[in-house]
Every structure is written in structure tokens, then in C-alpha cells.
Structure 1
């Protein structure tokens, strides 16, 4: 049997430089699976509730099971990728995605569906940690932003595909086909990872400089100064494999932890997944029919995807920080308007159109900023010696707060009302803007080794010179 941690599948001859785009696009299919398997519950939940006769409490457990699994996947994948390599962990994750999709499609009852969603969650959590790191470690500094954001773009494509599948298979037991479709991209990702290269940074530590140089020659193309890049990686090399307890013990890493984990937290508690998970349910109970609610959510998915496309082009042009500072205030405004629409009860007539427009506006401005920057920033800001543990901590933060949001959203809207819920999220978005302003330095155009050097020098802070 082939050793999946080897790099025999990678030619040692020079490449065109375009190969890195192929690698990033193929690996980003993990993002599509992430988006599809988290987004499909949005439409499926309406029919699962009828099929299995479950109430709102059990519905929240069905939704949240994937998030519990994601926490487990995020916890274990970082250390595993440090030991086995980035590539084999992505391959294992693809296989788990396929098994989980089949198990969900054939689940005979709510209990086994929850188990299947838990399994899918493990794959989602692992992919959220390892795929951005894999792409970042293969990408050159000048295009790293756009290439890593391909992961987020594919998440939105997956969510949109889930919405379309939800509309296409709406009614009856069509939710089983919705889940089953997830097998197809899982197999595509698995096949791709059999032939794609290992991370050169992982190879340098575990196989030596020659192995890293072979991959870099392939992905950088003719004329690239591979020797200089290998030397830069080697100069920043420290023994990899830091554990969670080591992160706080190293004071120089703390600014990266504050920025990275803070963005991870705000990406969830600002409420974007309220729309992704519960928009059809909220709209259906607000006077929209079930099919109309799902169709409106397809529009949300289109807007989400388009804004991430815009963000993909902007992160390497205007920077991560400026993108956040420009768009987050508009997300606040969208939530204020959305809450106001529900002030007098369920919207009617033109109010329904305003509600849909406000939801789409929020998705555009929050999804086009925090969601774009989240996985990119976490993959580039942490030093190599603790990257596995730190990115696991970042992904863990995402999924813990995602779970908190999923478990409380329906209870909040029923307890304090829709208006108060959306206005609460508006305040949180404003706090996210202040956090970025004070504590999130720019990383655009800097190599991973340059970012690490600034951390070690104590200059990784807002306003410090590059």
C-alpha cells in the first residue's frame, strides 16, 4: 500500500507556476464539503421535522450535532497533521465526509441521523483546520490571500449548492437525496489528494530541505528563487508539534493568538450562521411559504458567494484589515434594519421584501468581510512551530461559538423576539469592528516567515512598521 505521507506523486522538474492554483482549487473542495454539509440542514430541517415528528428542541440537536463533531475534528486534526502530514489528513477527512453523507441519507430515525451528522462534523472540523493551512503553506506571499480565500469561496459555493439541492428536492423524503449528494465532492477531494503534493514546510521539518525544494520547484515555476525560499523557511524553523498548553506559555505568540482567536470568535457570534442555519425556518414562520422561504434563501446563498468572490480579489489588494473595517459597519446597519422590520410583528407586503433585502445585505457585508478573512488569517498568522496546535485552537473557537449560536438562536427568537435578537447581533458586529481596529494587524504581502519574525521581534501590532 502506498505511504500517503510520501511525495512520490510530485514531479521534481520545474513547473509553470500555475500548478499552485490547481493545488489550491482542488484542496478547496474541502470547503465545498464544509459548506454543503453545514448548509443542507437549512432546507432539510423543514422535512426532517415532519418525517420524524420532532419538536424545536430535537431540531436544534439535529442542527448542532455537526457542530459538536466539528469541535472534535478541530481538536484532533492539528496534532495529527503535524505527525502525518497535511495531505494525508485531508485525504482521511474526505473519506469521513463520504461515509457521513451516506449514513445521513439512509438514517432510519432521528437518533441515527444525529450520529451521522456528528460524523460529518468531525470531517468539517478537520477540514476547517487543515485545508487553509495546507493551501497557505504551498502559496507564495503575493497571492496567498486569494488562494486561501478559495477555501471560503468554496464554502459559499457549497452552501449555495445546498440551497439549490434543498429547493430541487423539497417535499417528502427528498431530504435524503439532499444529504446523499455530499458523497460526490467527497470522492473528488479524495482522488485529488492522492496525487497532490505535501506541504513544503512540513517536508522541510520531516524530510529535509531537498524534499521541500522539490515541491517548491513544482509549484513556483521556472525562474523562482527556490533556494532563497527554502533558506527563509529553514531560518524560521523551530521544532514543530507545539501543544495547546505551549501556546499561552510563549509570550511572543500571544498577539497572534489574540488576533486569530478573536476573529474566530467574532466570525460566529456576529450572527452569520443564524441566517445560514435558520433563514428558511424564520421566513416560513413569518408568513412566507416553505418553498418561497427556501427560494429566498437561495438568493442569500448567491449573494454570499458573490461577495466572497469580491473578497478574494480584495484581500491581496486592499488588505485583510481594511476589508473588515469598511464592510462591518454596513453589516451593523443591515441588522438594525432587519430588526426594525419585525417591530410590529411578522412583516407583510413590502416589509417582507425589506426583510429579505436586509438579510442579503447582512450576508454580503458580514460574509464578505469576516467570513473571507477568518480562515486566511488563522492560516498565516501563527508561527510554524505551533501552527498545528494554534490553527486547531482557532478552528475549535469557531465551532464552540458556532455551537452556542445554533443552540440558542430559536430559543432567543422565541424568548426575546426577532427584533431584539437581530439588534443584539448588530451590537456584536459593532464590537467586532472595534476589535479589528485595535488588535488585528495587517498581514498582506508578507511571507509566513516575515510574520513570524515580527512576532518574535515584538512588532506584530496595529500601527507598527512592516
Structure 2
């Protein structure tokens, strides 16, 4: 194998190992979908406590996204992922062994810390490892692993649910399986190098060049090293990122875009389908076993859609994909709302709802899912990347938390139709935001993007101030 072949193979290995963090993210968020039914019987859950069990992971993820971003800036991307793998392992076993609702909520919260930390750290790590021309493809492999993790959860839930029907502790088996990928992630990351961009930010230039030589051709490694050093020199006056940095107009605008993208992704209601898909299908008319089996279709569509999305990212800009995805998801919500009223009580309604949730996920996972995570890993400046991603992903998880907490309550109080009409209205607002505020990032290196943002927004502010003075 040529030297270039060795470099490509090693980079692929790094991506595969680190994205086990995404697999754990997917499994741990998706497994609750099928576990809720038997958990409700065993622990005596109602609509509100169901929401608490689901959303406790999400509030943990919100905190984990902020702390994970700061930790990855302080100790490195690689070491942070190692720490997260340990937390994934023990929290998963704690959830499976929980004797009561309070203990389950505590361990789900701890699991959320790991999920939130990985949601920030893994995409940043991949973006910093990837060459500019392959960044979209490699970063979105984490999104692929997330949906593969969710599909695995749905399939395992269906298998256990059907073969062990009647066993009140089925949910414990479903939750405990998540410990296995955590072991693979831990031992795999022991063999993975640190991000060269993080090493350079810490003044470890020789180590950074050594890593770049392992994953780039010699000339490309030296060129990239010089580009990163130039960006760091340009930022030499910037201190450790804090909330005070939001006083800088161009930084504030980028963080506003990052927060907006995070909220847009979640108000599609994607995670109401991923967490409560089985309950939605039961509400539409399926039996528990049929809902568990039918829900696997959501997982299959998600994986196929992400594969298509990864291909599209190499062909189409980020903004067009975001807009196309939002139009598709909003239309799906509107149709679910309409048919839930028109076909209420009919034998065809469950199949129509299943078809429309699959359509929704095809648009969501093929566009919004990978594009948002990719753009969050691209738009922030190097010295603030972990912090800014943490702030944005905190808002993502907090939006996710409120949706996860109140979705079963809305489903019980106002019904399936009205709930999805609300999602459709939020989708229209999201289209307006993307159309007016989100820039294109495809085709630029991370250093070029940072330079462009700083130059463009500083120029815009100068022109605005000049206009005020006239």
C-alpha cells in the first residue's frame, strides 16, 4: 500500500473509532423508545413521569454539551472522548439496574452528560482531523453512526419485546446493551492521536506536524500546519473564550447563527419521533408489538437518508439542503395533522402515520440532521470552537429537553393532530430564519471560514456605524 493509502486508511480508522461516540449517542437516545412501554408497567409511569424519564437525559446532555466543550478545549478532544466512554459505560449499567424512578432519572441524567459531551466533542474532533475537501463527508459519518445507533436500538427493542413478551424487566435488557459500544470506544481511542489543531493551539507544534503527516501527504501537512499557525497568530490577542467574547460583534453573530441552527433542528420534532415513535404509532392504532416492529422502519429510513445526505453534501451547498429539508419536514407535519383528523378511528390511520413519519425522517436525516452538526463544527473560530459549540449545543439540548418533557403531555391533552400542527408552524418560522440569516460554508477551509466571517461582519458593522453618523 502506498504512503497516501496508509494515511487515508489511518484517517478512516480514526473516524470509525471516534464515531462510536455517535453510536452511543444514538443507542442511548433511541432505546427509550421501546423501553417505555414495559417501564411504564413496572415503575407505574404516567404522561408526566414518562416525560421526566425521557427528558432527564436531555437536561444532562445540555449541561454535558457546555462542560464537554470546555473540557475538550482544556485537555484535548481525544482525552475528553476517553472520559466520556467511561461515563457512558457506568451510566448505562446504572440505568439498567435502577430500582425506582428517582434512581433511573439520576442515571439517565448522568448518561445525558456523556451524550451531550460526545455531541460537541466528536464533530469538532472530526472537523479538525479532516482535510477541507472531505470535511463534509467525514464529519457527517458521526450523524450516520447516530442513526445506526438508533436503528440498533429499535431492532433490539423489537427482538427483545417480541421474544420476551410478558417479562416485566425487558427494559433492563434493552438499556444494558449500551455498555458494549462504550468498551469499544474506550480501547479504540487509546490508539487514536490528538487533534493537530488543538496541539498547535497549545504550542505543541512538532506533535501537531507528526499527526498531520500520519493523515496527510507531506506537502499538504506542511501547508496546513502553516495555515493553522497563521490563524493562531491572527488570534494571538484572544484570551480563553468566555461569555464576554460575545461582546465582539462578529463572534456574537456567529454564535447567534449556531444557536439558531440548533433550535431549528430540534423544533422539527425529530426527537419526539425518535423517543416516542412507538407511542405515536400506538396512539394511531397499532398494538404494542406491531408498534415496536413498525418503528424499526423509522430507523431504517434514517440510516438510508443519512447516506443520501452524505452524498448530497459533496454536491450541494449547505443552505439549499437546509431549506429543502425544512420544506419536507414541515409538509410532513402538516399532513400528519390533517390525516389524524380526517382518518380518526380508521384502520388505515396507523399505516398513514407510519408512512408520514418515515417521510419526515427521510427529509430530516437526509438534510437537517447532518448539515446542522456539520455547520456547527465549521463556523466557530479555533480558539473558541469548543466553547461556542458548547453554547450552541446547550441550546439544542434545552430545546430537545422541553420537547421531550412536554410531548407526551401534549399528546395526552390535545391529541396527535394538534401537536403536529404546532410543529408545522415552528417549521415555517425555521424556513424564514435559514433564508435570512444562515451563510454558505461549503468549499472553504476552517481557517478561510474564520477569516471570511471576521472580515465580513466587521465590515458590516463599520458600514452600519458610518451610516448612523451620516
Q: TM tier, shorter chain?
A: over 0.9
Alignment-derived partner of residue 212 in structure 2: 216
- Give the Cα separation in 2 of the matches to 1:417 and 1:371: 27
- Give the Cα separation in 2 of the matches to 1:193 and 1:184: 15
- 1:282 to partner: Cα distance: 2.1
Alignment-derived partner of residue 372 in structure 1: 370
1:316/1:445 contact within 8 Å kept: no
| TM-score, length-scaled by structure 2 | 0.92
- Give the Cα separation in 2 of the matches to 1:345 and 1:246: 54
- Give the Cα separation in 2 of the matches to 1:460 and 1:448: 18
Aligned length: 450
- Give the Cα separation in 2 of the matches to 1:101 and 1:318: 38
Secondary structure of the 2:260 match is helix
1:196 counterpart (192, 195, 198): 192
2:65/2:113 contact within 8 Å kept: yes
Report whether the alignment pairs 1:141 with 2:137. Answer: no
Judged with a 3 Å threshold, the aligned counterparts in structure 2 of structure 1 residues 263 and 13 are, in CA distance, closer, same or farther, namely closer
Alignment-derived partner of residue 58 in structure 1: 49
- 1:20 to partner: Cα distance: 1.6
Report whether the alignment pairs 1:228 with 2:223. Answer: yes
Secondary structure of the 1:317 match is coil
Judged with a 3 Å threshold, the aligned counterparts in structure 2 of structure 1 residues 460 and 429 are, in CA distance, closer, same or farther, namely farther
Alignment-derived partner of residue 249 in structure 1: 247
Task: List runs of 5+ in structure 2 lacking aligned partners.
Answer: 461-470
- Give the Cα separation in 2 of the matches to 1:452 and 1:187: 36
Task: List runs of 5+ in structure 1 lacking aligned partners.
Answer: 1-11
- 1:294 to partner: Cα distance: 1.2
Alignment of 1:394-409 (within 5 A): 394-409=392-407
Report whether the alignment pairs 1:97 with 2:93. Answer: no
2:444 counterpart (429, 443, 446): 446
Alignment of 1:303-452 (within 5 A): 303-344=301-342, 346-452=344-450
- Give the Cα separation in 2 of the matches to 1:111 and 1:322: 45
- Give the Cα separation in 2 of the matches to 1:103 and 1:139: 35
1:68/1:121 contact within 8 Å kept: yes
Judged with a 3 Å threshold, the aligned counterparts in structure 2 of structure 1 residues 461 and 22 are, in CA distance, closer, same or farther, namely farther
Secondary structure of the 1:305 match is helix
Q: Greater shift after overlay, 17-26 or 236-245? A: 236-245
Q: Once the two structures are superposed, what CA deviation does each residue of 1:84-123 show, in whole Å capped at 9, x if it has no partner?
A: 1110000000110000111111112222111111111010
Alignment-derived partner of residue 463 in structure 2: none
Q: Greater shift after overlay, 302-311 or 413-422? A: 413-422
- 1:141 to partner: Cα distance: 0.5
- Give the Cα separation in 2 of the matches to 1:278 and 1:51: 18
Alignment-derived partner of residue 156 in structure 2: 165
Q: Greater shift after overlay, 43-52 or 275-284? A: 275-284
- Give the Cα separation in 1 of the matches to 2:45 and 2:330: 34
Judged with a 3 Å threshold, the aligned counterparts in structure 2 of structure 1 residues 306 and 247 are, in CA distance, closer, same or farther, namely farther
- Give the Cα separation in 2 of the matches to 1:303 and 1:450: 35
Alignment of 1:10-49 (within 5 A): 15-49=6-40
- 1:223 to partner: Cα distance: 4.8
1:451/1:460 contact within 8 Å kept: no
Report whether the alignment pairs 1:458 with 2:449. Answer: no
Secondary structure of the 1:414 match is helix
Alignment-derived partner of residue 127 in structure 1: 118
- 1:150 to partner: Cα distance: 0.6
2:259/2:395 contact within 8 Å kept: yes
2:48/2:408 contact within 8 Å kept: no
Alignment-derived partner of residue 180 in structure 1: 176
Q: Once the two structures are superposed, what CA deviation does each residue of 1:280-310 show, in whole Å capped at 9, x if it has no partner?
A: 1122133210011111110011101110111
Report whether the alignment pairs 1:153 with 2:151. Answer: no
- 1:73 to partner: Cα distance: 0.8
How big is the alpha-carbon RMSD for the aligned residues of Structure 1 and Structure 2? 1.9
- 1:346 to partner: Cα distance: 3.7
Secondary structure of the 1:342 match is helix
- Give the Cα separation in 2 of the matches to 1:273 and 1:456: 34
- 1:461 to partner: Cα distance: 11
Judged with a 3 Å threshold, the aligned counterparts in structure 2 of structure 1 residues 241 and 155 are, in CA distance, closer, same or farther, namely farther
| TM-score, length-scaled by structure 1 | 0.93
1:241/1:386 contact within 8 Å kept: no
- Give the Cα separation in 2 of the matches to 1:350 and 1:411: 25
- 1:316 to partner: Cα distance: 2.4
Identify the structure with the greater helix proportion: 2
1:287/1:346 contact within 8 Å kept: no
